Structure 1
């Protein structure tokens, strides 16, 4: 099987803990691109927040190259960041989630197309986010009326205690029954529009490009990646993936995100196949 599209998570998958992309990953991606394989970042970040990553991979502002962002909430072509599909959270629902979040010990993230607004962010949370996305603190806001008319891509509740986030999710399960709920980076409870996730984003883009699901490969490390790992023809988990989701992956790399796990997978399943 020659895979034609690679959907790849960024944080803790492609990107090392020091926020760089290692040489093994960059070289393998370059070789895959030279074979005509699509390399599609599939991220919880917004598409405007990964410009430097696209530059490093020589994908920035390129026609016929794509990004799945906001956990599948947006699919865009890299040339001029042309949006092909956007499905966000209705403003009324976003307001409800904002008010619910105030009842818990969480930092509330409100993602618009261009910026992330943070409510009740610790210094650590703000520092973590500001290197990943344009951010602004909104602790002086009592509601989200200042964002009325803006498209809200998704929302997040953040806390580094994952057990606590699972407790929060259980307590608000009735209020989030109409949403797609997942987890990421071992610190975020992700809230997207119903049916919106990386898996549905991957299948939508593959179909648009005339690529069969079985001709796709997906790589990730956390729960918000599982939908695309299961949807892809080949679903690959990093060595550093959440232990409980490894059983749902077709293959687990020997290398983690710091050691070039993405490169390892491309070498094994794409570059080696091209030589055979």
Structure 2
């Protein structure tokens, strides 16, 4: 008997994608099999939807109607056909400015996300290498965001590869916690969205739009910006390389890493061959 999971939301970096930033063939094949069974497979990423079109091509979901993407950590939900925006949750520009200003004294690279551009301040060689093949961006040197006046800002983040250093910065935002959702990703990013904006809230919103009950949803991820959707879904899965501090918060930890086709394992075990 087939399982009743009808919506799978899945993180990209360190989950669906391998170290080479590509979709393993096993994952692509499993996603196609799931789609043939009427299961929606939705990329849920902290990146903007313009940057993941190549991944959508790899999984056969590019520019298709009734196929969907969650991007900007839940800040935007799109239908893939013409990237039609179904829902957007921007951040107040004054709040974005405040967050950006507080990061300036620290050893971080800052990203500021508008719907179509990633603006990066103080980028370093390691970050350039990490982003190569993942996304396009524009650098800026201003020490304020006045150049973005009138534009929509969805997300701000700070980058440093010292995870403990990033965690130490979180206390600088205690006074505005009621205004922001704070999360971590790729063991290098401290991320800020508008309060209530996260992958879990977006999963539930999309499920509601598709008339799929929460119990019929499954989420797969590896890091703390995925935790909200892992906990919101009917079944929340972590890949084998999930951040150690998050493993106990997942319903199931898969046996495979992102380099070993963990998403294929998830689809096989819980959607196509539940006896597996």
- Output the TM-score relative to the length of structure 1: 0.97
**Structure 1 residue 24: Cα displacement:** 1.1
- Summarize deviations over 1:21-70 as a string: whole Å, max 9, x none: 11111111110011110000000010111000001111000001100000
2:35 alignment partner in structure 1: 33
Is structure 2 residue 86 aligned with structure 1 residue 88? no
Structure 2 equivalent of residue 47 of structure 1: 49
Contact 1:213/1:232 (<8 A) preserved: yes
SS in 1 for 2:273: helix
Q: How many residues align?
A: 274
SS at match of 2:175: coil
Q: Which residue of 1 aligns with 2:199?
A: 198
Tell me whether 1:236 sits opposite 2:274 in the alignment: no
Deviations 1:151-184 (A, max 9, x none): 1110001100010011100122213441000000
1:126 Cα offset (Å):
2.2
Aligned equivalent of 1:164:
165
Match of residue 268 from structure 1 = 269
Q: Helix, strand or coil for the counterpart of 1:11? A: helix
Residue from 108, 123, 126 that aligns with 1:124 = 126
Q: Secondary structure at the match of 1:174?
A: helix
User: Deviating runs (4+, > 3 A) in structure 1?
Assistant: none
Q: Secondary structure at the match of 2:20?
A: coil
Q: Please say if residues 115 and 133 of structure 1, whose CA atoms lie closer than 8 Å, have aligned partners that are also in contact.
A: no
Residues 250-269 of structure 1, C-alpha deviations (whole Å, 9 max, x = no match):
11111100000110010011
Within 5 Å, give how 1:38-117 maps onto structure 2.
38-117=40-119
| C-alpha separation in 2, matches of 1:60 and 1:18 | 20
Following the alignment from structure 1 to structure 2, what is the Cα–Cα distance between the partners of residues 49 and 258? 21
Asked if structure 2 preserves the Cα contact closer than 8 Å seen for 1:5 and 1:40, the reply is yes
Could you report, residue by residue, the CA deviation over 1:139-159 in whole angstroms, capped at 9, with x for unpaired residues?
Answer: 2x1311111111111000110
Moved more, 68-77 or 115-124: 115-124
TM-score normalised by the chain length of structure 2: 0.97
Q: CA RMSD in A?
A: 1.2
